[in-house]
Structure 1
Amino acid sequence: MSTLKPEVSSHDHIQGAASAAITIVEFGDYQCPYCGDAYPIVKEIQDAFGDQIRLAFRNFPLQESHEFAYGAAVAAEAAALQDKFWEMHDALYENQYRINADLFEELAETIGLDLERFQQDVEAANVKQKVEADFESGVRSGVNGTPSFYVNGTKFDGNASDLYQMLKESTS
């Protein structure tokens, strides 16, 4: 059984109450079509379960398969430095169909980032280290593809739809 390493902490991007009974960690790749398919289902899970769950997202860019995945993860982390991680996360998935090297700055402008700071931050070592730390966490946790979900620290075997179904059954 694969377990999450390290546990969710203040280093993670988290939505939801700290008191939530269920913590879901998603390892995702912004260019992965399966992650793109999972994105609206994860949103639906958040809407349906509200305060019962908290969601953390960790970057797991599959650079060999997806040319822009690493750049997208770096863009999201750079946005996080301006407290706009989730806005960039959502914008990347909502614009996944047109992902390319020019998209990141356009989205940064759209979500209201300070562009000069964003341009500096995407080059910053600490931003790249955060992406690499997330990736390393995935490797240590047994991630073998994206998206991968961990529920309360244990790897969930299935996709976002399976996860939604399991949550419906376990909370009813």
Structure 2
Amino acid sequence: MTDLGNDLTVPVTEDDHLQGNIDAALVLVEYGDYECVHCGRAYPIVKKIQQHLGKDLCFVFRNFPLSQSHPHAEHAAEASEIADAGGKFWEYHDVLFENQDALDDSSLATHAANLGLDEEGFQNELQGGTYEDKVQQSFMSGVESGVNGTPSFFVNGSRYDGDWEYEPLMEYLSSLR
């Protein structure tokens, strides 16, 4: 029986947003919100961990927009999915975290255009809610896994409830190598 809330209920697949080999020794899944200041603080920490662990780590990002607290979170998540369809998920992901104060719809479209995505098509998809269901599925997979805040991390399918600052998270990941 699965211990709901401690295990990742939706396994990582090639359909996820991932960096690294899905078969790596360590798979770090983050449920995150582009407007969340804590996720913004975790962003460079995860980048540093990725650099340190290299091919031993597969990093997965799943959208978990906390729309009741963050008015731009839902559209930012949907915008990241539009960017993914254009082959620019990770570039867009980085731009969103590096520009958390510019997540209104106009800024989202500008970010897309700056990455070479079709701005008009981007705006049409965003306003049409093209990826609303995909974001909702990601959100629900988090809820099913016991996620109730961001960032929430899972390591090799198990929830990590420790401190997500660099040293403790790196120490924990290194202990599993």
The one of 142, 145, 167 equivalent to 1:138 is 142
User: 1:168 — aligned with what?
Assistant: 174
1:34 has 2:38 as partner: yes
Kindly report which structure 2 residues correspond to 1:109-124, keeping only aligned pairs within 5 A, or say none: 109-124=113-128
Deviations 1:72-113 (A, max 9, x none): 001101101101111110000000133323210110011111
State how many pairs are aligned.
Answer: 171
Give RMSD over aligned pairs. 1.5
Note the residue ranges of structure 2 that are not aligned, 5 or more in a row: none
Checking the alignment, whether the CA contact within 8 Å between 1:147 and 1:159 is kept in structure 2 is no
Kindly report which structure 2 residues correspond to 1:23-102, keeping only aligned pairs within 5 A, or say none: 23-102=27-106
Checking the alignment, whether the CA contact within 8 Å between 2:28 and 2:154 is kept in structure 1 is yes
Checking the alignment, whether the CA contact within 8 Å between 1:38 and 1:159 is kept in structure 2 is no
Distance (Å, rounded) in 1 between the aligned partners of 2:135 and 2:89: 13
Kindly report which structure 2 residues correspond to 1:7-26, keeping only aligned pairs within 5 A, or say none: 7-26=11-30
Shift of 1:10: 2.4
Q: What is the TM-score with the length of structure 1 in the denominator?
A: 0.93
The one of 158, 161, 173 equivalent to 1:157 is 161
Tell me the SS of whatever aligns to 2:27.
strand
Note the residue ranges of structure 1 that are not aligned, 5 or more in a row: none
Percent of residue pairs bearing the same amino acid type:
46
Instruction: Extract structure 1 runs of 4+ deviating beyond 6 A.
Output: none
- 98-107 or 23-32: which moved more? 98-107
Q: 1:87 to 1:133 in 2, by over 3 A?
A: same
